[in-house]
Amino acid sequence: MNLVSLKDVLEPAEKGGYAVGAFNANNMEIVQAIIESAAEERSPVILQASQGAINYAGLDFIVALVKTAAQGVNVPVVLHLDHGTDFNQVMRCIRHGFSSVMFDGSKLPLEENIARTLRVVEIARAVGVSVEGELGKIGGTEDEITVEEREALFTDPAEAERFVKETAVDALAIAIGTAHGPYKGEPRLDFPRLKRIKDLTAAFIVLHGASGVPDDAVRQAVSLGVNKINIDTDIRQAFTSGITDFMKKNPNNIDPRKMLSPAKAEMKKIIKEKMRLFGCSGKA
Ligand code: G3H
Ligand code: 13P
Ligand code: ZN
C-alpha cells in the first residue's frame, strides 16, 4: 500500500479505543521486522526514523526501504519523522516522501515552540503530511534529576490546550512520567494529568518512551485516550540479544545473515506483543 498520514490510522484508533504502535527503525532488518509484523498481525503501523537514524542510514535509503516494504503489504503504513528539531531537515523529509513529521520544539520557550510548530503545520498540511508537536520535556532515563524535578517538566494541561488550538497539530507528544531509554525503576505515569490533557485538547495524544512501561499502565493510558505509542529501546534490546545469543552459540560464525536472522525474529516477537497490547492487532 502507499504510505498514509497519522490521521488515516489514528482517527479509527480514537474511535475504536485502541492505540497504534510507532516503532523506530535504523536499517533494513528493523524496517522489515516492523512491516512484516504489521502484515502478520493485520495491524496499521507507524514506522518512524529519528534524525540520528537518517544520519546513519541516509534519507534516500530510509524512504526507499520503507516504501518498498510498504508496497509489499496490505496494511496502512505511516512513515514518520521522530523528534525533528531542525526546520530544514523536516522540510527535506517532506520533500523525500515522509507522510508525517514530528517537530519537537519542547526545549524552546512556549511562544517559540508554538510559532515554529505552526510554521511546519502550515507547510505540511498543504501537502497532506501530518504533524506531531511536543509540549513538556520527556527526557531520558539517564538524566540525573529527581522525581520532583522531572514532574516540573511534565506537560501543563492549560498550555497543551493553547498549544493545540494555536498550532492545529494533528498529534501532541506529552510528558507524564515516561522517559526515553531503559528504566532503572518502575515508571509512574501521571494519569490524572493525561485525562486533563485529553479533555482539553482535540489532537491525538502520543506517549513516548513506552519501552519498559508495565502492560497495565499502557492499557490504562490507552483507555484514557493515548492514540500513538512510541517504542525504540525494546527493539534495540531484541536486536542486540538476538545477535549476542546467536554468537554465543556459534562463536565462529562470520556470516552477517546468520546473526541478523535471529535478531529480526526477536524484534518481530516484541513488536507483535506490543501490537496486541496496544489493541491495534487485527485492525487493518
Ligand atoms: O526518542 C528517541 C528515539 O529513541 C530515537 O533515538 O535519536 O538515538 O535514534 P535516536
Ligand atoms: P523508548 O526508546 O524509550 O521506547 O522511546 C521511544 C521514543 O519515544 C521514540 O520517540
Ligand atoms: Zn520520543
Question: By alpha-carbon position, which residue is closest to atom 8 of ligand 1?
Answer: 52
**pTM for this one?**
0.98
pLDDT at 147: 80
Q: Which CATH class is domain 6-278?
A: alpha beta
Query: Is there an atom of ligand 2 within 6 Å of 211 CB?
Result: yes
Does residue 230's CB lie within 6 angstroms of at least one atom of ligand 2? yes
Q: What does the pLDDT look like over 131-152, one tens digit per residue?
A: 999 999 998 887 888 888 888 8
Closest CA relative to residue 62, chosen from 90, 102, 27 = 27
Q: If you count DSSP H runs as helices and E runs as strands, how many of each does the chain have, helices first?
A: 12, 8
Q: Would the CB of 272 count as within 6 Å of ligand 1? A: no
The CA-atom distances, in angstroms, between 176 and each of 21, 140, 153, 227, 284 are 18, 13, 9, 15, 29
CA of 252 to the centre of ligand 2 (A): 34
Q: What is residue 222's predicted lDDT score, i.e. its pLDDT?
A: 98
Residue among 126, 270, 275 nearest 212 (CA): 270
Domain boundaries, the chain: 6-278
Q: Which ligand is nearest to the CA of 237?
A: 2
pLDDT along the chain (284 residues), means of 10: 97 98 98 98 98 98 98 98 98 98 98 98 98 95 83 95 98 98 94 98 98 98 98 98 98 98 98 98 98
Q: Which amino acid residue places its CA nearest to atom 5 of ligand 1?
A: 50
What letter represents residue 173's amino acid?
Answer: A
